[in-house]
Structure 1
Amino acid sequence: MNGPLTQEIRLGSYLRDRRAKLDPAALGFGTTRRRTPGLRREEVAQRANISPTWYTWLEQGRGGAPSADVLDRIARALMLTEIEREHLFLLGLGRLPEVHYRGDDGVTPRLQRVLDALEPSLALIRTATWDVVAWNRAATAIFTDYGALPPDQRNVLRFMFLDPRVRAAQHDWESMARFVVATFRADTARAGAAAAAEPMVEELCRLSPEFAAMWRDNDVRSHGDGIKRLRHPLLGSITLEYSTFAVDGRPDLSMLVFNPATDEDRDRIGGFLERSPSPGSGEG
């Protein structure tokens, strides 16, 4: 049996399995005289607004390659989760679906506990548009008190270009600002969030000529990992090693962890945290 045919059979099997797991009554269909669990093929086709005959062929492994639009409609008809939708596309087209940004504020208590457990490392969660939605106490002590700010002001680009304290804390503000703009552009494009970020970009272009000039350069970079040097008003010069991590199941979020680069940095940050009052929860 050749590869493409095997893939079509796998797609059909997956569709049948997902269809069997749906509750007809919950979706407004009658439950009488059903020999098998789940929806009937014609009911899925009705929900997806496609031909019942063609949907039947897809389940039988002889419908040919469906379009991305059809797979999207089938995914909605079968009420697939995001990971199930991705699997459907891999089976049907051999690739992941195009990214459509769907921002969702906040994190789970479990994820917040992960951030808290990383101290004295600084850790925060940001969205694809670089809004900070969660953080730990170390990030509050060294970066800024995110909890004291309105949620729409907890944005990394706003800090970099509109907050003079953040600007003064950078050892090389212009180099860091260019890096931030270039990685922000790449992140929003990769996440399909460019349209969602556009109002903030337009506002920053009006408020900051420096941002406007850097944005016009159209540079893109990968965030990855690296070194960040800061001038803290109480601790003096601090060197941090940063790394970026994806949050599984949340393509709209990423986690940034800043580890003290030396034992001296770790001891100074740890001692500062012991002396600092504990702020409120970091969930945003």
Structure 2
Amino acid sequence: MLRDWVDAARPRTLPASASPVIAATAYAWHYGVMNVVAAVICLLFALLAQIASNFANDYYDYKKGSDRADRVGPRRAVASGDISPKSMLMATLLTLIISCGLGLALLIWGGWWLILAGMIIVVFAIAYSAGPYPLSYKGLGDVAVFIFFGLVAVNLTYYVQALHFCIEVFWGSVAIGLLSVNILMVNNYRDVEADRLSGKKTVVVRFGHTFARYAYLFNGVVALLCTVNIWFSYNFWSIGAAILFFCVHIITWRQMCILKGTALNPVLGKTARNLLIFTIFLSIFLIL
């Protein structure tokens, strides 16, 4: 039973919510404004908000009939009968409530306007797969991921620690957002046929496999370019780290181009790993 809930939380994708907070906190350390308590609260809020979104996606994809019997992705909890729809819906609401409670603590540092920001994050966490205009069904999932796992997560995490915004942090948020989009890109690349049949118009369904492959490659390259000042501001170790990430990115991209169906499941995990590698390297050279 516990294993079913862990799988439903999709732990392979959680680096997408942890990485923005880690990167933003490293920037805060770099500029001498780090607030450990605020950073930890941001991390817990981000993880719980994503888990709630994953639960909601599992529930609403089942309700919409998107999780077909011929699905090639990982087992879905509700569609497979491991967790009842009612239990998944309740877990979604409970996780959202807990994340919102944690988010309220950030008002101590960021001010009351963060309530609006938190409400928008929660709405989009649900609107990703639910509501009258589910973003993931309209080809806007990638845009939502870029904005909320990149721009919003990084810049707001930095703000509650520094109480101001920073252009260097903004470019770091663009990099993190693009690499987060790659996680979704692999997921939709793998599921393109099932999504097309169920009417889920993802970016891959709209523009095809070739576009997705080169978008994936492009995102990794641009992420490095957005943070190029970090890689070239130190010694050869930082340049070496950038080259190492690029090599890992290319290897994963090649696997994405070659593999199909269930064989792409490990590529999804490797793409999340790549985001974490990028974040760790970036953070190391910000802290040093």
Q: Please, what TM-score do these two structures have when normalized by structure 1?
A: 0.27
Higher relative contact order by CA 8 Å / sep ≥ 6: 1 or 2? 2
- Structure in which a larger fraction of residues adopt helix: 2
Which protein is richer in strand relative to its size?
1
TM-score w.r.t. structure 2 length?
0.27
